[in-house]
Amino acid sequence: MTGLFDWERFQKLPLVGILRGFDLAASQQAVRSAAAGGLTTVEITLNSPAATSQIERLRHEFGDRVNVGAGTVCTVEDARLAIQCGATFIVTPIVDGDVIQVCRDADVPAFVGAMTPSEVFQAWKLGAAIVKIFPADALGPTYLQSLRGPLPQISLMPTGGVTVESLASFHRAGAIAFGIGGPLFDAQRIAAQDWDWIQEQTTRFVAAYRAVA
């Protein structure tokens, strides 16, 4: 299954829920709960069990209301396979021009990881739709604000440690999107099948964004 990333859906709620290391059954239920809480974009990292099969299944079940993408994409081969399996966006932790070009050729947005000003600019120059600042909690919102000074034209997405409480600070610093992993898809909560908590936590993140948007 192939298809376009729904930018309108994403712009209304630019929160990317990141599922890393979970099997299909856990990911399916987690996405069901998060979607019930309002989430509209999820990323399945390729170091998850049977990740491409997960992307295909999740896209089939949720594709009419959730953008389903692939994360931790580091090679051209991985990018091509993820796109073939239905990923509507690609997240890579590195600045690799060949991976970005595969995405551009397929009209699939690339969210590219970077940290330094040079990396951020290079990712944008190569065609990144959004530049992922990771790990965001290491330097905090002040660093993001500093990057925005000389590079205001680049869309930044802090990822790593973004919480319900810190989201507003990152937004004030200039973030246009937010990557959210453990603070939303908590491994202990998922292991305990506490799906109500996942839905409620999603609702809290959505409310936190709505309060500053």
For residue 135, is the peptide bond before it cis, meaning its omega torsion is within 30 degrees of 0? yes
Structural domains in the chain (count): 1
Predicted confidence (pLDDT) at residue 83 exceeds the cutoff of 90: yes
User: Looking at the domain assignment, is residue 1 inside a domain?
Assistant: no
Task: Supply the mean pLDDT for the chain.
Answer: 97
Q: Which residues of 182-200 are buried (b: 16+ CB within 10 A; e: fewer)?
A: ebbbbeebbeeeebeebbe
Q: What is the domain extent for residue 15? A: 7-212
Q: Please report whether residue 52 resides in a domain.
A: yes
Annotated catalytic residue, options 8, 12, 43, 200: 43
Residue 23, amino acid: D
pLDDT, tens digit, for every residue of 137-172?
998 999 999 999 999 999 999 999 999 999 999 999
Give domain status of residue 11, yes or no.
yes
Strand partners, 17: 42, 180
Name the catalytic one among 61, 119, 125, 132. Answer: 132
> Residue 28: is its pLDDT beyond 60?
yes
**In the annotation, is 119 catalytic?**
no
Closest C-alpha to 21, from 55, 39, 44: 44
Residue 180 confidence (pLDDT) above 60: yes
Q: Is residue 61 part of a domain?
A: yes
Nearest-10 crossing angle of helices 76-84, 51-62: 30
Asked about 43 being catalytic, the answer comes back as yes
Alpha carbon distance 184, 31 (integer Å): 11
Average pLDDT over residues 31-52: 99
Q: What is the CATH number of the domain that holds 177?
A: 3.20.20.70
Residue 1 has pLDDT above 90, yes or no: no
- pLDDT computed for residue 181 by the predictor: 98
Kindly indicate the confidence band of residue 178, based on its pLDDT and cuts at 50, 70 and 90: very high
Cβ 31 vs Cβ 65: under 8 Å: no
